[in-house]
Amino acid sequence: MILRDLLNTFKGSMYKNALFLILNSLIMSGLGFIFWAINARIFNSDDVGLALTLISSMTLITTLSIFGLDDSIIKFLSKANNKKDIINSIYSICTINTVIFSLIFVIFIKLFAPKLSNMFNNVFFNLLFILFVVLWTLFVITDGVFISLKNSKYVLIKNFIFSTLKLVFPFILVSLGYIGIFSSWIIALIITLIIVTIIILKKFKYTPKFIINFKPIKNMLIFTFSNYVMRILLSSPGLLLPLIITNFLSPKDTAYFYMAWIISESISVIPNSIATSLFAETSTNDLDIKEKIKKALKLIYLLLIPTIIFIIMLSKFILGFFGEDYIANSLNLLIILIITSVPFSLNSIFITLNKVKNNSKKLIFIGLYFFIVFLTISWLLINKYGITGIGIGWFVTNLIFSFYAIIKIKNYNER
Most trustworthy range by pLDDT among 13-27, 51-65, 115-129 = 51-65
Output the 3-class SS for the chain.
CHHHHHHHHCCCHHHHHHHHHHHHHHHHHHHHHHHHHHHHHHCCHHHHHHHHHHHHHHHHHHHHHHCCHHHHHHHHHHHCCCHHHHHHHHHHHHHHHHHHHHHHHHHCHHHHCHHHHHHHHCHHHHHHHHHHHHHHHHHHHHHHHHHHCCCHHHHHHHHHHHHHHCCCHHHHCHHHCHHHHHHHHHHHHHHHHHHHHHHHHHHCCCCCCCCCCCHHHHHHHHHHHHHHHHHHHHHHHHHHHHHHHHHHCCHHHHHHHHHHHHHHHHHHHHHHHHHHHHHHHHHHCCCCHHHHHHHHHHHHHHHHHHHHHHHHHCHHHHHCCCCHHHHHHHHHHHHHHHHHHHHHHHHHHHHHHHHHCCCHHHHHHHHHHHHHHHHHHHHHHHHHHCHHHHHHHHHHHHHHHHHHHHHHHHHHHHC
Q: What is the pLDDT at residue 349? A: 84
Residue 1: pLDDT above 60? no
Residue 262: pLDDT above 60? yes
Residue 48: pLDDT above 50? yes
pLDDT band with cut points at 50, 70 and 90 for residue 22: low
Q: What is the pLDDT at residue 3? A: 43
pLDDT band with cut points at 50, 70 and 90 for residue 152: low
Output the 3-class SS for 246-305.
HHHCCHHHHHHHHHHHHHHHHHHHHHHHHHHHHHHHHHHCCCCHHHHHHHHHHHHHHHHH
Residue 12: pLDDT above 60? no
Q: Is 53 exposed, middle or buried (0-12, 13-18, 19+ CB in 10 A)?
A: buried
Residue 254: pLDDT above 60? yes
pLDDT band with cut points at 50, 70 and 90 for residue 171: confident
**Rounded mean pLDDT of 83-111?**
82
Most trustworthy range by pLDDT among 10-14, 57-61, 368-372 = 368-372
Higher pLDDT, 374 or 295: 374
Give the pLDDT confidence of 201-210 residue by residue, as tens digits. 777 666 677 7
**Percentage of the chain exceeding pLDDT 90:** 5
Give the pLDDT confidence of 293-351 residue by residue, as tens digits. 777 788 888 888 888 898 888 888 888 877 788 888 888 888 999 999 889 888 888 88
Residue 164: pLDDT above 80? yes
Give the pLDDT confidence of 179-224 residue by residue, as tens digits. 888 888 889 989 988 888 887 777 766 667 777 766 666 666 666 6
pLDDT band with cut points at 50, 70 and 90 for residue 279: confident
Give the pLDDT confidence of 99-127 residue by residue, as tens digits. 999 898 888 877 766 666 677 777 888 88
Nearest Cα neighbor of 140 from 198, 205, 196 is 196
Residue 237: pLDDT above 80? no
pTM reported for the whole predicted model: 0.63
Q: What is the pLDDT at residue 7? A: 46
Q: What is the pLDDT at residue 362? A: 81
**Percentage of the chain exceeding pLDDT 70:** 77
